[in-house]
Amino acid sequence: MQALYDNEKFFYNYLDLRNDEKNYNDLFEQPQILDMLPDISGKHILELGCGYGATSRKFIEKGAESVYALDVSKRMIEKAEIENSDKKITYSCMDMNDLNKLPGSWDIAFSSLVFHYIENLNQLFCNINQHLKPEGVLVFSMEHPIVTAAVKECICEFDQNGEPLYFKLDHYGESGERNIVWLDTYVKKYHRTVADIINSLIYSNFIIDELREPLPESSLLINNLRMHQEIHRPSYLMCRCHKK
């Protein structure tokens, strides 16, 4: 991940993507995952993979007492400190695989679209659990296993009028590393089945409260033809769970 988001070409391609007013994160993923959060008023939040701090800032605006936000990318942290600084936010350039080295405990752990980059999900969930206060909550989203399954890429087939028909699915049951091209860059991700993810949470002493596999609301389909693909399979798997 460090080589990925600190790569200058990829970094600016990613920012261009996020600055597009029709980007999926802002239109689709963020409203869904933020809706899964408990009341954050007065809470201390650990954000894993904070990027340039936009969500960290939202947490403070919505009444969180503090946010400890970490990201493996130095470029992202520098941008966060410039654009989304606040006295209640602490930004840290840190690999979440080293979470066990971090002191402290939090009420809520939050992560948006990062866990599919993590090889050892069991260890990550165990480390998060240890850093949560009693009955602390973990809310996260990740690329849906239907999306990450393909060895080459997740391909959509279209009819003669350009309307999406279905997505090709292959190698779903074979968990492991995947290498794809995204934003003109080779990107390493890790595929696991839904069962793998749920069992990792159970192994790590979490109790699952809610799962979501959101599809776009009709209003998003009107002005965004590309979004029509999303009615054929979920792009995201989202989960809210709490410490046992």
- Which pLDDT belongs to residue 224? 77
- Which pLDDT belongs to residue 162? 86
- Which pLDDT belongs to residue 223? 75
Q: Return the domain boundaries, the chain.
A: 2-144+192-243
- Which pLDDT belongs to residue 3? 67
The answer to whether residues 110 and 139 touch, using CB atoms and an 8 Å cutoff, is yes
What mean pLDDT comes out for the span 122-144?
97
Beta strands in 24-113 (DSSP E): 44-48, 66-71, 89-93, 106-112
Better pLDDT: 175 or 229: 175
Q: Is 60 exceeded by the pLDDT of residue 2?
A: no
What mean pLDDT comes out for the span 199-210?
98
Beta strands in the chain (DSSP E): 44-48, 66-71, 89-93, 106-112, 132-143, 156-158, 164-167, 176-182, 185-191, 206-212, 236-243
- Which pLDDT belongs to residue 105? 97
Helix (H, G, I), strand (E, B) or coil at 104: coil
Lowest mean pLDDT among 21-30, 35-44, 187-196: 21-30
Lowest mean pLDDT among 138-142, 179-183, 190-194, 239-243: 179-183
What mean pLDDT comes out for the span 132-155?
94
Q: Is 60 exceeded by the pLDDT of residue 11?
A: yes
User: Considering only CA atoms, which of 209, 178, 207, 203 is closest in space to residue 191?
Assistant: 178
Q: What is the Cα 88 distance to its own chain's centre?
A: 23
| Cα dihedral 206, 207, 208, 209 sign | negative
pLDDT tens readout for residues 71-126: 999 999 999 999 999 999 999 999 999 999 999 999 999 999 999 999 999 999 99
Average pLDDT, the chain: 92
- What is the distance in angstroms between the CA of the first residue and the CA of the last residue of the chain? 30
Q: Is 90 exceeded by the pLDDT of residue 182?
A: no
What mean pLDDT comes out for the span 190-217?
96
Contacts of 233-236 with CB under 8 Å at 24 or more apart are 233/144, 233/146, 233/147, 233/167, 234/144, 234/146, 235/24, 235/28, 235/29, 235/143, 235/144, 235/147, 236/28, 236/29, 236/32, 236/33, 236/113, 236/141, 236/142, 236/143, 236/144, 236/212
Residue 144 vs residues 11, 47, 108, 120: alpha-carbon distances, Å: 23, 20, 22, 17
| Reported pTM | 0.92
Which CATH code fits 2-144+192-243?
3.40.50.150
- Which pLDDT belongs to residue 28? 86
Q: Which amino acid is at 46?
A: L
Q: Is 60 exceeded by the pLDDT of residue 1?
A: no
The answer to whether residues 111 and 215 touch, using CB atoms and an 8 Å cutoff, is no
